[in-house]
């Protein structure tokens, strides 16, 4: 009998506690920035597409829900011709983000992706590409990679010596 | 055999090898860069260090480069020793200091030997934080992409390109820590074998430019074992597909045939598969719209069959199964083999020589072991490029065989062997129509008309064996040359004769057969290699068909009114007027092909046939080796193998035999039963029901990505994986993960070995035969008892004709072959149309380079720009064979010079 009353009393006390339940969807949950939600493709600080279509995200994906095709612009900069994620298969494990050498693919704190039609869960590049750097600021892959692209010649990247004069024999 | 102890475990290894080879053969993982099984050791990269102990009591040991150390009996070594491990990790650390951070955008990534070796040594994090060295890249032509930053200075590229393949225009420049591997200036790499740089380079300095157009990682390709369709040698290839298009061709090791390398035509000539001119749906021209489905087209074809009397025309570029199916469908009497009459005669003669001659035809690997070579009439670099590469190896190796045993140097010590050999070359005699780029390594070259080449050949046979026919009227030089050749061939242990159909002369073939028989009569282990026009010319000849001329006759004389043409553009086989007349006279023309061409234009019913990548089949190469190729990716039902189309047509017509065949295996079985010469062909590759542990062999690597997304744009519900009814291979990554039998290896991969260097794991002995034997079955055996002269008739001397030129065909590696000319990079390398004249003839005709010459061959008028050469025989001229834009003429033939278009004299100015 005592135990019963004690339980009721304790339950009653919760009336005065801070509320954990929020009025979703009127009120939005505050998610940590590392939350693994919807996947986006970001851009580098100069506004160029970060994705270089290296296929590592697709290879890392345990459910094989990423498909893409690489292509190049006339200056040699590589980018995906198409980039497709089938979110009806995605398990939001974040392996793709771990595998990405350019910080292009990122999982963001957004989970509101419900659809009535499963076909609408197939996201193409136009659905994925955002106009910003996402979680990782300031990184530009082509600034550290040795490949020459438009606007960055050989030897102009970070930690790169100017091109070798192959006609010189001086050490 | 010797016993060596690796990490205190004893192993039996063959002697004469180096430690690296021995360790790799034993399946040990030991990193290396500069060593290559085809090129030997130079000990430059310092990567393959192992500990070698003096004796049982030695606990300290010494570091040795395993590629530079010969196997000795009782040797004690350690791979796992800490010091050796650290040494290897350090070496790779140093190699990586200047290697750029661009794996993500590097085409080699995922199939990179440097990546594999870096992981193998455990060099996981980069310690070097300072400036990296950079280089300016070069333009190297339409095949190869250059990215010099990635270079690790292993020297493999120049060793392959210059020493192995005999190229001149790739070299190493500069010095110290800024070596540069490239050309002396931007430009197209001249070698016909430049594509192998992609596989020879351990990292991404040289990459496949055609793959770059539609880049796919190796792990994402669906690959199948295939056979190259671009010449008669039948090199083994691995073809890779993604998203429904063919992406690249890589080498598939076959110790007997192509070894580690391919020619550029084979590697880069695959774009016809993806061409916009592909026939992807059957067409019935009598209805609108023309494009229709499979059943309507089959019904239309069956109706045409029922009403008419039918003849069939086969093709040397179609598989054996397709030709056999057509032959069965139309009946033996109505099957014609769809090649020009001259080609028909030549190929039949070549087959007869191989069957009834005394000499054996060697494989390409055996060609490399020959110690004296005589080439009659063949421009190998352009007609059978990989054979040219094999001949180059034989010439390179021959002197070393002699000297090495004296000098006490192991064969694999590449640098030392080259130092010892200097420029010494083995005996090679070449008698051809024109310059062959081989002159520099030949002992002696002879350029003349086909008849003169044949006469030289007959003279050689006569000098070897006196009862062989004598050649009257040779000049002093020719007699001397013939004697020199005869003596050299007699002095050799394994003399080799090479000829073929490309100079268009039966007499040259007969002369070659005579020399071979004479050598065998003298109890020499002589070999004879005859190159043929196309990938399945041999199979078609063995199948036996009537001449194309009789097919024309049958239709024009009303004996038949319906013709069914299998993968064949008749406008490349006979005179334009004749073909047009033939196709017009025929009431019904049914064509099976994969690309639109002049013949398919006039077809009433056109059935969409699969290319080599969309079909299963068997090809028989020039040595009579039957080799199986497998479909790479599935197609819709409107596009299928020719043999399947014909089989379905036969079933629809209630053909008494064809309607009982269900699938590929039944066709093979029937062929074996009905034609004893194809005995054993059903065992070339495992049958359709072959399984390992109940599983098929996967075409895709286990890392294959995107399965649930690649078709999601069409429908998010994934379709059932396609099933292959004809092969023990699956189209997906599901299946048996171990090593499959050698004939069905879709790609080379082993744990930790993602690059093509994984081939090591599939060989019995590194650089040797594949485990379970090299794939392919030789169907032809020589008759060693027949050492009598093959023929007694010796041709007359060539006599020029006034007002005529004896027109010969000149072949081009890029341009002469039909299918590869649908690949843009190959087209870029193809020559412009020309006619090649002798210098003196040109002066006499008052023609200069670039001016046009008009002539007529069998009623076909030609007007071509003139090229002038001092080499081609006066009275003869050359025309590129098979080049698009030049109408067909059966060559060699006499060309009548058109006098009315005589060169006008320049008006002279007088002062």
CB distance B704–A64 less than 8 Å? yes
Q: Is the dihedral of CA B389, B391, B392, B397 positive or negative?
A: positive
Q: Find the CB nearest B180 among A88, A101, A166.
A: A166
Alpha-carbon distance B656 to B151, whole Å?
Answer: 63
Omega within 30 of 0 (cis) for the link into B892: yes
B377 by DSSP, 3-state: which? coil
Which pLDDT belongs to residue B192?
A: 93
Alpha-carbon distance B519 to B511, whole Å?
Answer: 12
Q: What is the DSSP letter of B416?
A: H
Nearest to residue B835, comparing CAs of B858, B814, B857? B857
CA distance B187 to chain A (A): 17
In the predicted model, residues of chain B with pLDDT beneath 50 are none
For residue A123, the chain B residue with the least C-alpha distance is B713
User: Please, where are the H alpha helices in B612-691?
Assistant: 642-652, 664-674
Alpha-carbon distance B812 to B821, whole Å?
Answer: 11
For residue A78, the chain B residue with the least C-alpha distance is B105
CB distance A118–B716 less than 8 Å? yes
Which pLDDT belongs to residue B907?
A: 62
Which pLDDT belongs to residue B415?
A: 86
Alpha-carbon distance A84 to B715, whole Å?
Answer: 13
On chain B, the residues whose CB falls within 8 A of the CB of A154 are 134-137, 149
Q: Is the dihedral of CA B363, B366, B368, B373 positive or negative?
A: negative
Alpha-carbon distance B542 to B559, whole Å?
Answer: 26
Q: What is the largest CA-CA distance in chain B?
A: 101
CA distance B243 to chain A (A): 9
Alpha-carbon distance B564 to B551, whole Å?
Answer: 11
For residue B716, the chain A residue with the least C-alpha distance is A119
Which pLDDT belongs to residue A166?
A: 86
Percent of chain B with pLDDT strictly greater than 90: 81
Tokens representing residue B573 in the block:
């086989």
CB distance A166–B174 less than 8 Å? yes
Which pLDDT belongs to residue B129?
A: 87
| B306-343+539-729 has CATH 3.40.50.740 classification | yes
Which pLDDT belongs to residue B398?
A: 82
Which pLDDT belongs to residue B634?
A: 93
Which helix (H) or strand (E) covers residue B477, if one does? helix B476-491
| β-sheet with A122-123: strand ranges across | A66-72, A78-86, A122-123
| β-sheet with B617-620: strand ranges across | B617-620, B625-629, B777-778
Tokens representing residue A128 in the block:
């994925």
Using only the alpha carbons of chain B, give its radius of gyration: 29
Banded model confidence at residue A150, pLDDT cuts 50, 70, 90: confident
Neighbouring C-beta atoms of residue A31, cutoff 10 Å:
13
> Half-sphere exposure of A86 toward its Cβ, with a 13 Å CA cutoff?
27
Fold of the domain built from segment(s) A32-135: Alpha-Beta Plaits (3.30.70)
B860 by DSSP, 3-state: which? strand
Residue with tokens 């061959």, as numbered in its chain:
B857
CB distance B109–A54 less than 8 Å? yes
Alpha-carbon distance B536 to B529, whole Å?
Answer: 16
B94 by DSSP, 3-state: which? helix
Do residues B208 and B145 touch, judged by C-beta distance below 8 A?
yes
CB distance B174–A168 less than 8 Å? yes
CA distance B727 to chain A (A): 26
Give the DSSP letter string of B46-69.
Answer: --SEEEEESSTT--S-EEEEGGGS
Residue with tokens 């955008």, as numbered in its chain:
B105
Do residues A91 and A62 touch, judged by C-beta distance below 8 A?
yes
CB distance A163–B176 less than 8 Å? no
B455 by DSSP, 3-state: which? helix
SS3 track for B390-405: HHHHHHHHHHHHHHHH
Fold of the domain built from segment(s) B347-531: Dimethylsulfoxide Reductase; domain 2 (3.40.228)
Q: Find the CB nearest A159 among B130, B175, B243.
A: B130
Fold of the domain built from segment(s) B2-96: Ubiquitin-like (UB roll) (3.10.20)
Which pLDDT belongs to residue B177?
A: 86
CA distance A3 to chain B (A): 55
Dihedrals φ, ψ of B239, to 5°?
A: -105, 135
C-alpha A103, offset from chain centre: 7
C-alpha B708, offset from chain centre: 37
At the top level of CATH, the class of B804-901 is mainly beta
Which pLDDT belongs to residue B911?
A: 58
The answer for residues whose C-beta is within 8 angstroms of residue A103's C-beta and 6 or more apart is A42, A50, A133, A134, A135, A136, A139, A141
Do residues B222 and B731 touch, judged by C-beta distance below 8 A?
yes
CA distance A122 to chain B (A): 7
Average pLDDT over residues A104-132: 94
Q: Where are the domains of chain A?
A: 32-135
CB distance A145–B137 less than 8 Å? no
Omega within 30 of 0 (cis) for the link into B715: no
CB distance A166–B178 less than 8 Å? yes
B606 by DSSP, 3-state: which? strand
Give the DSSP letter string of B571-603.
Answer: GGTS-HHHHHHHHHH-SEEEEEESB--HHHHT-
Alpha-carbon distance B389 to B235, whole Å?
Answer: 13
Alpha-carbon distance B475 to B472, whole Å?
Answer: 9
Tokens representing residue B203 in the block:
């990292």
On chain A, the residues whose CB falls within 8 A of the CB of B136 are 154, 163
Q: Is the dihedral of CA B661, B662, B663, B665 positive or negative?
A: negative
Do residues B262 and B198 touch, judged by C-beta distance below 8 A?
no
Alpha-carbon distance B66 to B91, whole Å?
Answer: 14
Q: Find the CB nearest B102 among A88, A145, A167.
A: A145
Pairing of the two strands B527-531 and B310-313: unpaired
Dihedrals φ, ψ of B245, to 5°?
A: -125, 150
Which pLDDT belongs to residue B340?
A: 92
A44 by DSSP, 3-state: which? coil
Q: Where are the domains of chain B?
A: 2-96, 306-343+539-729, 347-531, 804-901
For residue B174, the chain A residue with the least C-alpha distance is A166
Alpha-carbon distance B616 to B269, whole Å?
Answer: 19
The answer for residues whose C-beta is within 8 angstroms of residue B533's C-beta and 6 or more apart is B232, B316, B339, B343, B346, B347, B501, B502
pLDDT digits (tens, 9 = 90+) for A1-15: 899 999 999 999 999
CA distance A9 to chain B (A): 53
What does the angle CA B249 – CA B250 – CA B253 come to, to the nearest 5 degrees? 135
Neighbouring C-beta atoms of residue B267, cutoff 10 Å:
26
Which pLDDT belongs to residue B420?
A: 85
Which pLDDT belongs to residue B704?
A: 94
Do residues B315 and B533 touch, judged by C-beta distance below 8 A?
no
Q: What is the DSSP letter of B360?
A: B
On chain A, the residues whose CB falls within 8 A of the CB of B715 are 119
Q: Find the CB nearest B707 among A64, A119, A167.
A: A64
């Amino acid at each position: 009998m005592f135990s019963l009353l004690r339980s009721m009393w304790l339950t009653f006390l919760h009336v005065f506690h801070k509320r954990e339940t929020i009025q979703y969807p009127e009120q939005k949950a505050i998610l940590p920035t590392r939350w693994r939600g919807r996947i986006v493709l970001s851009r580098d600080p100069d506004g160029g597409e970060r994705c270089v279509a290296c296929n590592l995200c697709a290879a890392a994906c345990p459910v094989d829900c990423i498909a893409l095709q690489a292509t190049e612009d006339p200056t040699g900069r590589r980018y995906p011709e198409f980039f497709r994620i089938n979110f009806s298969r995605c398990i939001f494990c974040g392996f793709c983000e771990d595998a990405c050498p350019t910080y292009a693919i990122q999982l963001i704190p957004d989970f509101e992706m419900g659809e009535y039609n499963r076909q609408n869960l197939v996201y193409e590049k136009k659905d994925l590409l955002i106009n910003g750097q996402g979680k990782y600021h300031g990184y530009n892959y082509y600034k550290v990679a040795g490949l020459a692209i438009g606007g960055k010649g050989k030897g102009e990247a970070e930690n790169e010596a100017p091109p070798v004069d192959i006609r010189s024999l001086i050490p | 055999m010797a016993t060596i102890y690796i990490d205190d475990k004893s192993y039996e290894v063959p002697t004469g090898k180096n430690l690296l080879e021995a360790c790799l053969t034993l399946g040990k993982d030991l990193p290396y860069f500069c060593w290559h099984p085809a090129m030997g050791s130079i000990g430059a990269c310092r990567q393959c260090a192992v500990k070698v102990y003096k004796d049982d009591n030695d606990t300290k040991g010494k570091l040795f480069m395993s590629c530079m150390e010969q196997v000795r009996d009782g040797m004690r070594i350690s791979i796992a020793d800490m010091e050796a491990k650290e040494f290897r990790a350090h070496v790779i650390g140093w190699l990586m200091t200047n290697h750029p951070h661009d794996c993500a955008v590097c085409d080699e990534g995922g199939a990179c030997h440097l990546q594999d070796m870096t992981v193998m040594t455990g060099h996981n994090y980069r310690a070097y934080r300072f400036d990296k060295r950079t280089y300016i890249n070069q333009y190297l032509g339409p095949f190869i992409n250059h990215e010099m930053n990635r270079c690790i200075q292993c020297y493999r590229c120049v060793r392959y390109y210059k020493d192995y393949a005999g190229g001149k225009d790739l070299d190493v420049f500069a010095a110290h820590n800024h070596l540069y591997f490239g050309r002396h200036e931007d430009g197209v790499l001249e070698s016909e074998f430049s594509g192998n740089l992609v596989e020879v380079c351990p990292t991404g300095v040289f990459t496949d430019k055609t793959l770059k157009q539609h880049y796919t990682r190796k792990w994402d390709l669906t690959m199948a074992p295939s056979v190259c369709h671009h010449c008669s040698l039948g090199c083994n290839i691995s073809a890779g597909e993604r998203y429904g298009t063919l992406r690249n061709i890589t080498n598939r090791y076959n110790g007997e045939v192509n070894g580690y390398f391919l020619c550029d035509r084979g590697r880069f000539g695959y774009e016809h598969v993806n061409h916009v001119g592909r026939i992807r749906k059957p067409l019935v021209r009598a209805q609108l719209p023309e494009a229709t489905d499979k059943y309507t087209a089959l019904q239309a074809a069956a109706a045409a069959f029922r009403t008419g009397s039918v003849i069939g025309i086969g093709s040397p570029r179609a598989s054996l199964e397709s030709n056999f199916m057509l032959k069965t469908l139309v009946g033996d009497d109505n099957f014609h083999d769809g090649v020009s009459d001259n080609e028909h005669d030549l190929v039949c003669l070549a087959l007869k020589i191989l069957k009834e001659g005394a000499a054996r035809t060697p494989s390409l690997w055996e060609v490399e072991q020959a110690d004296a070579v005589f080439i009659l009439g063949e421009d190998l670099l352009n007609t059978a490029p990989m054979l040219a590469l094999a001949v180059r190896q034989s010439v390179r190796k021959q002197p070393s065989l002699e000297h090495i045993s004296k000098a006490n140097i192991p064969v694999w010590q590449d640098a030392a062997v080259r130092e010892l050999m200097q420029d010494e070359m083995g005996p090679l005699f070449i008698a051809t129509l024109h310059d062959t780029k081989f002159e520099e390594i030949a002992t002696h070259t002879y350029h003349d008309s086909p008849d003169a080449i044949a006469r030289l050949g007959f003279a050689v046979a006569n000098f070897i064996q006196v009862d062989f026919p004598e050649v009257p009227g040779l000049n002093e030089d020719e007699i001397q040359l013939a004697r020199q050749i005869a003596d050299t061939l007699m002095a050799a242990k394994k003399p080799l004769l090479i000829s073929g159909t490309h100079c268009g002369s039966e007499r040259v073939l007969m002369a070659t057969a005579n020399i071979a028989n004479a050598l065998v009569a003298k109890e020499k282990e002589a070999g004879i290699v005859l190159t043929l026009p196309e990938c399945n010319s041999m199979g078609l000849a063995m199948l036996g068909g009537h001449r194309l001329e009789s097919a024309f006759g049958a239709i024009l004389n009303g004996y038949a009114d319906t013709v069914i043409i299998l993968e064949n553009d008749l406008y490349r086989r006979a005179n334009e007027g004749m073909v047009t007349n033939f196709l017009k006279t025929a009431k019904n023309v049914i064509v099976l092909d994969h690309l639109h061409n002049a013949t398919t234009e006039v077809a009433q019913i056109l059935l969409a046939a699969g290319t080599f990548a969309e079909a299963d089949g068997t090809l028989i190469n020039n040595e009579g080796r039957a080799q199986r190729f497998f479909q790479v990716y599935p197609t819709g039902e409107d596009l299928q193998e020719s043999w399947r189309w014909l089989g379905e047509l036969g079933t629809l017509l209630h053909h008494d035999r064809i309607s009982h065949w269900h699938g590929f295996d039944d066709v093979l079985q029937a062929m074996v039963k009905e034609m004893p010469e194809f005995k054993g062909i059903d065992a070339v590759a495992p049958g359709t029901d072959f399984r390992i542990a109940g599983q098929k062999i996967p075409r895709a690597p286990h890392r294959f990505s995107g399965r649930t997304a690649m078709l999601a744009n069409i429908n998010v519900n994934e379709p059932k994986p396609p099933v292959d009814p004809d092969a023990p291979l699956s189209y997906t990554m599901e299946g048996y993960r171990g090593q499959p039998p050698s004939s069905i290896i879709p790609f080379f991969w082993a744990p930790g070995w993602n690059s093509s260097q994984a081939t090591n794991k599939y060989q019995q002995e590194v650089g040797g035969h594949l485990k379970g034997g090299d794939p392919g079955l030789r169907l032809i055996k020589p008759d060693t008892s027949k050492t009598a002269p093959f023929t007694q008739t010796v041709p007359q001397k060539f006599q020029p004709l006034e007002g005529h030129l004896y027109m010969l065909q000149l072949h081009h590696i890029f341009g002469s072959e039909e299918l590869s000319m649908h690949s843009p990079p190959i087209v870029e390398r193809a020559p412009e149309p020309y006619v090649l004249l002798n210098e003196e003839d040109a002066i006499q005709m008052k023609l200069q380079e670039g001016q046009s010459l008009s002539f007529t061959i069998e009623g076909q008028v030609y007007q071509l720009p003139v090229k002038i050469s001092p080499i081609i025989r006066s009275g003869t001229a050359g025309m590129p064979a098979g080049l698009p834009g030049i109408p067909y003429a059966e060559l060699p033939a006499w060309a009548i010079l058109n006098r009315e278009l005589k060169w006008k004299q320049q008006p002279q100015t007088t002062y």
